[in-house]
Amino acid sequence: MISILRSIWLVFLHALHRRVTVQYPEQAIRRPPRFRGRIILSRDPDGGERCVACYLCAAACPVDCIALQAAQDEHGRRYPAFFRINFSRCIFCGFCEDACPTYAIQLTPDFEMSEARRQEMVYEKEDLTISGPGKYPGYNFYRVAGLAIAGKGKGQAENEQPPSDPKTLLP
């Protein structure tokens, strides 16, 4: 009897508590910086594409929602001829971001991407590519990686050591 009255009283006290509901469309939802939302393709600080079309993201994707085609420009640099993510299949696991060697593919905290037609959930390269470097400002893959490109030999970038010769045993 007392316990029944006590539980009624305790529930009544909840009328004075703060409400936990977030009034979503009017009130912004706080998302942590590592929230896994809409996927983007980022660019170098110079403005060039970061993606080198290595297919690692497509291989890592557990639901096979990433499709791309590698191509090479006149300097021998690889880039994706097309890059397509089917967001109606994507599960936002973030494996592609982990797999990417050049920080090109990144997950952002944006999640408001509902569409009326399912076809519109397929994002092409123009939809995915953003103008900036995303979460890693100042990082430029070709400036730190041991590859020869136009205007830079192997091991000539800053913070980069000359490549070791695999054919010799000397250090």
Partner 1 sequence: MSPTAVYLVTIFGLLIAVFTLSAGLIWYERRLLALFQDRYGPNRVGPFGLLQSVADIVKIFFKEDWVPPFADKPVFVIAPAVIIVATLMSFGVVAFAPGVMVSDLNVGLLFFLAMSSMGAYGVALAGWSSNNKYSLLGGLRAAAQVISYEVFMGLSLMGVVMMAGSFNLVRIVQAQERMWFFLPQLVGMAVFMVAGFAETFRIPFDLPEAENELVAGFHTEYSGMKFAFFFLGEYIGISLVSAMLVILFFGGWLGPVLPPLAWFFIKTFIFISFFILVRGSLPRPRFDQLMAYGWKVMLPLSLANLVVTAGILLWRRS
4 vs 169, beta carbon nearer partner 1 = 4
With CB under 8 A as the contact rule, which of the stretches 16-24, 67-75, 89-97, 112-120 interacts with partner 1? 16-24
14 vs 117, beta carbon nearer partner 1 = 14
Residue among 30, 14, 10 at smallest CA distance from 22: 30
Question: Count of residues binding partner 1 (CB under 8 A)?
Answer: 14
How far apart CA 13 and CA 161 sit, in angstroms, is 67
Q: How far is the CB of 29 from partner 1 (least distance, A)?
A: 15
Long-range Cβ pairs for the range 142-150 (8 Å, 24+)? 142/44, 142/77, 149/75, 149/76, 149/77, 150/75, 150/77
Site for partner 1 contains 15 (CB under 8 A) = yes
With CB under 8 A as the contact rule, which of the stretches 11-19, 102-110, 128-136, 157-165 interacts with partner 1? 11-19
Residues that bind partner 1 (CB under 8 A): 4, 7-8, 10-12, 14-15, 17-21, 23
